[in-house]
C-alpha cells in the first residue's frame, strides 16, 4: 500500500509481564499517509445552520450553546436568513461566551430607549402605518398603556429570555442579579 506506515506492538516475549500483559497485541495499525485529514470541511463545503441558512451557524453557534431558545426565534431566524448573526448586534462577546459563571455581560446590550436606534442602523423605514402598530401593540401587550414606549422588538420577535437568572444594567453592563441571588 503506497504511502502507508505500519505500527505494531508485540510484548509477548518480554520478561516479567503478567498473563494479561502477555496477550497478543492487536493487529498492526495501518496509517494511510495519503488520506486527507478531516479536521476541516473540504474546500467549497458550505455549512448550513439548523434554520437552513448558509454561513451563520459558525457565527451563532457559540451563542446557541446557552441561548438555544433563540435558534428558532423569528427575529434571530430572519436575521440569520440574511446572514446577519448575533455578533452583528451584540458584538463578539468573547468574555461573555467564555464565562461559565454567567456574570459577564455581552459586549453590547440595548435598553428599551436604545433598541429602536439600533434597529434603524440597518432598517431605515417601516412599512406599517403608525395607527396599526399601536393597535397591534396594545393587543399584544394589554398591560402596557403608554404607546410612546413601543420598541421594535415588541412586535418583531420574542427577543427576550423568558426565564432570566442574571440581569445586567444594559447601559453600564453592571451585574444587578446573578443566579446566586435567587
Q: What's the domain range around 100?
A: 57-181
Burial of 41 (0-12, 13-18, 19+ CB in 10 A): exposed
Are 17 and 102 members of one domain?
no
Please tell me whether residues 20 and 109 are part of one structural domain: no
pLDDT, tens digit, 9 for 90 and up, residues 66-99: 888 888 888 888 888 888 999 999 999 999 999 8
pLDDT digits 0-9 by tens, 101-146 = 888 999 999 988 898 899 999 988 888 888 888 888 888 888 877 8
In a domain, 51, yes or no: no
For residues 77 and 20, membership in a common domain is answered with no
Q: Could you give the maximum distance between any two Cα atoms of the chain, in Å?
A: 91
Identify which has the larger pLDDT, 115 or 40: 115
Do 16 and 106 share a domain, yes or no? Answer: no
Q: Region 10-29: what's the mean pLDDT?
A: 62
Q: Which three cell numbers stand for residue 71?
A: 435558534
Regarding whether 82 and 32 lie in a shared domain, the answer is no
The verdict on 88 and 143 lying in the same domain is yes
pTM score: 0.60
Tell me what the mean pLDDT of segment 159-164 comes to.
75
User: Does residue 149 fall inside a structural domain?
Assistant: yes
66 domain-assigned: yes
Q: Which three cell numbers stand for residue 70?
A: 433563540
Q: Are residues 91 and 175 in the same domain?
A: yes
Sign of CA dihedral 9, 12, 15, 20: positive
> Of 96, 78, 76, whose CA–CA distance to 86 is shortest?
76
Q: Is 20:30 a contact under the CB 8 Å cutoff?
A: no
Count of beta carbons in the 10 Å neighbourhood of residue 88:
15
Do 159 and 120 reside in the same domain of the chain?
yes
Confirm whether 43 is domain-assigned: no
Question: Is residue 83 domain-resident?
Answer: yes
Q: Please state, in angstroms and rounded to a whole number, the distance separating the CA atoms of residues 39 and 43.
A: 12
Beta bridge partners of 4: 32
In a domain, 49, yes or no: no
Average pLDDT, the chain: 76
* Shared domain check, 12 and 65: no
Portion of the chain with pLDDT greater than 70, in percent: 66
Q: At a CB cut-off of 8 Å and minimum separation 6, what does 93 contact?
A: 63, 86, 87, 106, 107, 108
Read off the pLDDT band of 43 (50, 70, 90): low
Whether 13 and 61 map to the same domain: the answer is no
User: Under a CB-based contact definition with an 8 Å cutoff, are residues 81 and 164 in contact?
Assistant: no
Q: How buried is 49 (Cβ within 10 angstroms: 0-12 exposed, 13-18 middle, 19+ buried)?
A: buried
User: Across residues 7-18, what is the average pLDDT?
Assistant: 55
Whether residue 10 is found in the same domain as residue 63: no
Do 12 and 62 reside in the same domain of the chain?
A: no
Task: Please state the domain count of the chain.
Answer: 2
Residue 25 within a domain = yes
> Percent of the chain, pLDDT > 90?
16
What integer pLDDT is reported at residue 15 of this predicted model?
64
Amino acid at each position: 500500500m503506497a504511502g502507508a506506515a505500519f505500527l505494531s506492538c508485540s510484548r509477548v516475549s518480554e520478561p516479567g509481564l503478567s498473563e494479561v500483559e502477555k496477550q497478543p497485541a492487536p493487529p498492526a495499525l495501518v496509517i494511510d499517509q495519503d488520506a486527507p485529514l478531516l479536521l476541516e470541511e473540504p474546500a467549497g463545503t458550505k455549512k448550513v445552520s439548523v434554520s437552513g441558512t448558509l454561513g451563520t451557524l459558525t457565527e451563532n453557534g457559540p451563542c446557541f450553546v446557552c441561548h438555544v431558545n433563540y435558534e428558532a426565534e423569528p427575529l434571530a431566524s430572519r436575521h440569520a436568513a440574511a446572514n446577519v448573526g448575533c455578533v452583528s448586534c451584540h458584538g463578539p462577546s468573547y468574555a461573555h461566551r467564555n464565562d461559565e459563571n454567567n456574570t459577564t455581560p455581552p459586549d453590547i446590550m440595548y435598553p428599551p430607549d436604545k433598541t429602536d436606534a439600533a434597529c434603524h442602523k440597518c432598517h431605515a423605514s417601516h412599512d406599517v402605518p403608525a395607527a396599526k402598530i399601536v393597535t397591534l401593540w396594545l393587543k399584544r401587550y394589554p398591560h402596557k398603556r403608554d404607546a410612546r414606549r413601543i420598541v421594535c422588538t415588541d412586535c418583531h420577535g420574542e427577543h427576550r429570555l423568558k426565564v432570566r437568572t442574571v440581569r445586567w444594567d444594559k447601559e453600564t453592563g453592571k451585574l444587578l442579579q446573578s443566579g446566586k441571588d435567587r
